[in-house]
């Protein structure tokens, strides 16, 4: 079945550590996205990538980094510079063609800083 | 810039009763509009979307929404809810000239009681 997988489902981090969240898609989508979800705030865009080896900052990129070495993979690193990383992280992907491209979401990773 | 307002953070309703979840948006350009549903600790699933044409759109699970351009609203409705509809619902918009950028409301938790 085609879809988006995120791992791990739950992640615990000590303060000062970097952690990497995995996102893989087998939908052959060109674009991939990372969102952060906090209670009562909806989703906010961290980074997005429309093509391999290229990505752009979203609204809240500080303290995060990404790479796009393969079309199907878009890992997100939460660095120690991110002051409040505890949140639910969602990865999404979409085609880039035509005038509208539906974003499909993965199941999410819940990150907790201890 | 665009913004989305979901005034109701939680809507309690009895099973088999009708429900309306409100969404208002602000934008200086034309937008596409969406409703997503999120079950606990899961990703987002698209319920329905308005791109153009008829202002009344029907989605999955018996939901529908009406686009009102003059009131900049896109309220979600269901004539009879089930316990299984208990979830978080997000309204989102994207500018028609840059459909990578989804702007989300803060979400409305629908709580269906027996």
What pLDDT score was predicted for residue A16?
Answer: 86
CA angle A3, A7, A9 (to 5 degrees): 105
The yes-or-no verdict on residue B41 having pLDDT over 90 is no
> Which of B36, B38, B43 best probes binding to A when mutated, by most A CB atoms within 10 angstroms?
B43
Q: Is B114's Cβ below 8 Å from some Cβ in A?
A: no
The yes-or-no verdict on residue B2 having pLDDT over 90 is no
Under an 8 A CB cutoff, do B101 and A45 touch? yes
Residues from chain A that touch B32, judged by Cβ atoms under 8 A, are 100
Per-residue pLDDT band at B99 (split at 50, 70, 90): low
pLDDT in tens, A67-88: 999 999 999 999 988 889 999 9
Give the mean pLDDT of chain A.
92
pLDDT in tens, A33-71: 999 999 878 899 999 999 999 999 999 999 999 999 999
The yes-or-no verdict on residue B31 having pLDDT over 70 is yes
Nearest CB partner across the interface for B99, out of A4, A101, A107: A101
How many Cβ atoms from other residues are within 10 Å of residue B49's Cβ?
18
Which one, of A90, A106, A100, A86, lies nearest residue A46 by Cα? A90
Residues from chain B that touch A108, judged by Cβ atoms under 8 A, are 41-43
Nearest CB partner across the interface for B43, out of A44, A94, A105: A105
What pLDDT score was predicted for residue A1?
Answer: 63
What pLDDT score was predicted for residue B96?
Answer: 85
Nearest CB partner across the interface for B102, out of A96, A103, A110: A103
Per DSSP, the residues of chain A read ---EEEE-SEEEE-TT--EEEEEEE-S--SEEEEEEE-TTS-EEEEEEEEETTEEEE-TT-TTEEE--SBTTB--EEE-TT-S---EEEEEEEE---SS----EE---EEEEE-
């Amino acid at each position: 079945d085609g879809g988006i997988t995120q791992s791990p489902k739950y992640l615990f981090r000590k303060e000062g550590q970097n952690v990497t969240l995995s996102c893989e898609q087998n939908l052959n989508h060109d674009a991939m996205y990372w969102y952060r979800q906090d209670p009562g705030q909806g989703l906010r865009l961290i980074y997005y990538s429309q093509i391999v080896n290229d990505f752009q900052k979203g609204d809240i990129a500080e303290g995060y980094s990404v790479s796009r070495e393969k079309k199907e993979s878009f890992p997100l690193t939460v660095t120690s510079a991110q002051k409040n990383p505890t949140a639910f992280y969602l990865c999404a992907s979409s085609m880039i063609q035509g005038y509208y491209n539906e974003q499909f979401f993965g199941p999410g990773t819940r990150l907790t800083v201890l | 810039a665009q913004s989305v307002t979901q005034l109701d953070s939680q809507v309690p309703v009895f099973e088999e009763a009708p429900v309306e979840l409100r969404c208002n948006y602000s934008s200086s350009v034309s937008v596409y509009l969406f409703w997503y549903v999120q079950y606990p600790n899961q990703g987002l699933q698209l319920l329905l979307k308005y791109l153009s044409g008829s202002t009344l759109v029907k989605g999955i699970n018996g939901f529908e929404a009406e686009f009102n351009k003059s009131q900049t609203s896109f309220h979600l409705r269901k004539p009879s809810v089930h316990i299984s509809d208990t979830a978080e619902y997000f309204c989102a918009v994207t500018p028609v000239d840059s459909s990578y950028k989804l702007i989300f409301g803060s979400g409305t938790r629908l709580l269906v009681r027996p």
